[in-house]
Amino acid sequence: YHLGESGYATRLAGNRQQILLALQTPPLPDLILLDVEMPDADGFGLLEKFQQSKVVGAIPVVMLTARCNRKDIMKGLTLGAAGYITKPAKLTVISDTLRALLG
């Protein structure tokens, strides 16, 4: 809601199938906010798959997750995340991160 009110066009995907469908539906997103813990997928595994794709690998991914220990943060960044935001996240942190990555 907040991102839409800030002028961003958003799409939601709550599980692996919805994510993969969204990435096959034009237009491709300019940025992906990805949780680590999803009902049927591991966000780190999806991030790895995204990075292997010539098309999706060019899209910045920001992890937005409750997994906040140093090991998880380092894993996300090492796998190629452009950012890592821990929940609960302040809306200003999310907005500032998007602005920094998208201009």
Angle at which helix 43-52 crosses helix 70-78, to 10 degrees, equals 20
Provide the whole-model pTM.
Answer: 0.93
The answer, yes or no, to whether residue 80 has pLDDT greater than 90, is yes
Lowest pLDDT segment from 2-6, 69-73, 86-90: 2-6
Give the pLDDT mean for 1-22. 91
Task: Please report, for residues 6, 8, 31, 49, 57, the alpha-carbon distance to residue 42 in angstroms, rounded to integers and kept in the order given.
Answer: 29, 26, 18, 11, 17
pLDDT in tens, 43-77: 999 999 999 999 999 999 999 999 999 999 999 99
